[in-house]
């Protein structure tokens, strides 16, 4: 089974930045909503459909939660526990954000061609100093 690793590296206010990578060298930035984040751990992800965005994606199966998806978004308040990939990250109006999320999601899905299931390992690294806005 293909394995992705999400390493969270900064939590500020309502947002969490991280990086998601696979063993083939793909590395993308991530954004999560700090109030709705999933716990660190290992999860099975199954191919699914993001109805609001009308595109294929993967659902992260988290016990006691439903519809935790990997989908395009730029800001934490656009996420209900889901994970947004990005090609870059930065600040907008004092909030953490990821940029080029649709393009990043496309790269994520391309890395999963031929796979209907993958594993996701989520870890939180020690907090770093908050970068300048």
The predicted-structure confidence for 58-71, as pLDDT tens digits, reads as follows 999 999 999 999 99
Tell me the percentage of the chain whose pLDDT exceeds 70.
94
Q: Is pLDDT of 129 > 70? A: no
Q: Is residue 132 part of a domain?
A: no
Q: Is residue 14 part of a domain?
A: yes
Domain that holds residue 20: 2-124
CB atoms within 10 A of CB 130: 12
- The predicted pLDDT at position 127 comes to 53
Q: Is residue 129 part of a domain?
A: no
For residue 103, what is the DSSP state? H
Sorted by sequence, the CB contacts under 8 Å of residue 12 that are 6+ apart come out as 96, 130
The pTM score is 0.92
Mean pLDDT of 87-93: 95
Q: Is pLDDT of 91 > 80? A: yes
CA proximity to 85, closest of 65, 126, 57, 64 = 57
- The predicted pLDDT at position 94 comes to 87
Mean pLDDT of 12-27: 96
- The predicted pLDDT at position 126 comes to 63
Q: Is residue 131 part of a domain?
A: no
Instruction: Quote the number of domains for the chain.
Output: 1
For residue 12, what is the DSSP state? E
- The predicted pLDDT at position 132 comes to 53
CB atoms within 10 A of CB 71: 23
């Amino acid at each position: 089974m293909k394995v992705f690793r999400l390493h969270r590296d900064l939590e500020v206010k309502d947002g969490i930045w991280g990086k998601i990578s696979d063993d083939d060298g793909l590395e993308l930035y991530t954004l999560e909503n700090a109030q709705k984040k999933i716990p660190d751990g290992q999860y099975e992800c199954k191919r699914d459909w993001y109805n609001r965005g009308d595109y294929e994606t993967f659902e992260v199966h988290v016990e006691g939660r439903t519809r935790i998806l990997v989908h395009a978004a730029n800001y934490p308040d656009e996420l209900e526990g889901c994970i947004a990939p990005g090609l870059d990250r930065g600040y907008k109006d004092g909030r953490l954000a990821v940029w080029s999320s649709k393009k990043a999601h496309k790269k994520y899905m391309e890395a999963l061609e031929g796979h209907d299931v993958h594993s996701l390992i989520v870890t939180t690294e020690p907090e770093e100093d908050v970068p300048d806005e």
